[in-house]
Structures are given as structure tokens and as C-alpha cells.
Amino acid sequence: MTAIRLGVIGAGIMGERMLRAALDHAADTVQIVGVWDPSAAARARIAAGLPGVSLAASAEALIAAADCVYIASPPASHLPLSAAVLAAGKAVFCEKPLASDVAAAAAFVESARGKRAAVNFPMATSFAAERLRGWLAEGAIGTPQRLEIEVAFANWPRGWQQDAASWLDGPAEGGFTREVVSHFLFLTGRLVGPMTLGAHSASFPQAGRGERAITATLTAGGLPVQLTGAVGSTEKDDHNLWTLTGDCGAVRIRDWAAAERLVDGVWQPDTEAMPQDTARPLVLKRQLAGVAAMVRGEAHPLATLEEAFAVQRVVEGILAA
């Protein structure tokens, strides 16, 4: 099949990761037609690191040249850029969150019904999530009973995100609940069922900065869910656990990429599991295959706008506390 033409808006960490995944692993699926970012420094970094990638003159020029646009800019720009892409008759693949404004996101999702649009939640195609789905289909845990989600960070933003701290640690667009917890809420909605937020709290001890701790109880597919998150509670840059327990056992994802199964009281790892740094570009290759399928109007596994909005409602509900 002919590779679809993909443009990238946003030359930060995620934009560069997607560019490298497309160039190094998915050339048969997507053709990069260019990248655009309003920052001269970001454009210069891409020009130096990826000299073969064209720099578009404007967002409009990039949209005109592409079949699909991947939006990897800060969250406040996601809805207007996505709307512009769809208005041009092109497909859009947007980073999460859709927005921090729930009403604006709801209106956008309604206006985009039937159009080619998806959101980049890599858990949709991750190897670890795929392994969990297989174990659950085999009845590995019996009847599911409860779910626990835990995230922890030595500092926020994480070490590799410091260049984006101006918005990533702000209460309007940033914080670890939007940036990290959202991935595990997406996984919850997809594997367990629709979510309803119960009692919750969020701590903002530093004026003008993002949350430093959250707690929440939810239900998902009728199951009780306990969610906790904190900054400064671990020495690790990033630690997370998503654990689903049933009456006959438990399965979990640890630190993004390690699928594990509880056997005789001991957590046994998936023998084919890869470290996150190894798995990430291969998962993005899978995501890009989904993007190509979406552009062609075929079935795909990517997160829908409706799924992303369900996550956003829970996230913003927690942060509103």
C-alpha cells in the first residue's frame, strides 16, 4: 500500500519521538511530509538532528501537504489545531489530553463525529497491554474483583521533561494526572469498562504549579478502583503500577512496559517483555500503522475521541478538587 503522508505539528519531545519512529521503523506505513513549530529553537533542533525532515512554513502549509496531521504541541492548542485539520478534510492524530476545558472538548467531540480522528494513547497497542488482554481472556485471574493504580515520581516534571516545565508544571495544562495518570485511565476504560469518579482529592501546595498528590476512588465496569499518585514519594524518576486482581489471581503492568502475572504469590514477568526504552519506538510503529488504517477508513485500534474524552472527564474531575 502507498504510505500515507504525515505532518507533525510540535517539535518537542513527543513530536521528535514520533518523527524518529516514523523514519526508523515505519517508512513503509507513513511518509513524513514535514514538521512545524512556532519556536525557532525547536525548528533548529529538528533541522540539526533530523536534517532530512522538511520544515513547513506554517501550520496551514503543513496541513495542506498532509493526509494526516499528528499534533504534539501543548494541550491548549490541541482543539483549535485539530479543528483546523478536520476542516481541511484531513485526518488528525492528537496528543492527549484533548483539552483541560471539559465543555470545549465535549463540543469538539460532538462536532467531529464520523470524521477521521484519534488520540495518541500508546496503551492501545502496547505489548504489555496486549499480554494482559491475553491473560484475561485465558481466565488467569478468574472473576475480576478490584483494580489499583499507583503512580509516583521523584520530581515533577520528570528529568527528561524539564525543557517543557513552563506548561507541564502549570495547573492550567500540566501536572502528572493529565500527563501520566491519563494513560492508565485509558487502559482501565478499555480493559475493564466505563469509569465513574467517586471521592477524590488533589493537593496543590505550590502556587502556580501542578498537583503534588492525588487520591481517588472510582468504579470501572462495576469494579472498585483505587487511584493514588504523588511527587517525592519515590527515588525513581517514574514508577507506576496498574494491578487488576480477581478471585483466582492478579495481573499487572509495572513501569509502563513490564506485564506480570501473580503465580503462587510471586510476580512472574512476561518472558517476552522488553524494557520501556526498547518497546517505545516499536509501540509507536504500531500506533502509526493504526494511523495509516484510520486515514484509509479502515478499522484501527487507536483511542477514539470518545475514549479520550471519558479519560479527560475523570482527570479534570480529580484536579477540580
Per residue in 11-58, pLDDT tens? 999 999 999 999 999 999 999 999 999 999 999 999 999 999 999 999
Of the candidates 13, 48, 97, 29, the one whose C-alpha atom is nearest the C-alpha of residue 280 is: 13
- What pLDDT is recorded for position 1? 74
- What pLDDT is recorded for position 73? 96
Phi/psi at 189 (5° precision): -60, -40
Distance CA 96, CA 256 (A): 17
Of the candidates 76, 90, 94, the one whose C-alpha atom is nearest the C-alpha of residue 14 is: 94
Residue 305, helix vs strand vs coil: helix
To the nearest 10 degrees (0 to 180), the angle between helices 102-111 and 305-319 is 170
Distance CA 270, CA 29 (A): 29
Distance CA 216, CA 198 (A): 7
| CB 291 within 8 Å of CB 116 | no
To the nearest 10 degrees (0 to 180), the angle between helices 13-25 and 276-295 is 80
**Residue 208 half-sphere exposure, CB side, CA atoms within 13 Å?**
2
Map out the domains of the chain with their CATH numbers. Answer: 4-120+280-304 (3.40.50.720), 124-275+310-319 (3.30.360.10)
- What pLDDT is recorded for position 218? 98
| CB 259 within 8 Å of CB 270 | yes
Amino acid at 76: A
Cell numbers representing residue 211 in the block: 498537583
| CB 192 within 8 Å of CB 244 | yes
**Count of helix runs (H) and strand runs (E) in the chain:** 11, 13
Distance CA 44, CA 50 (A): 10
Give the position of cell 505539528: 9
| CB 84 within 8 Å of CB 7 | no
- Report, as ranges of residue numbers, the positions in the chain whose pLDDT lies below 70: none
Pairing between strand 250-254 and 239-246? antiparallel
| CB 21 within 8 Å of CB 32 | no
Whole-model pTM: value is 0.97
Q: What is the DSSP string of 251-289?
A: EEEETTTEEEEEETTEEEE-TT---HHHHHHHHHHHHHH
Distance CA 159, CA 237 (A): 7
Cell numbers representing residue 294 in the block: 484510520
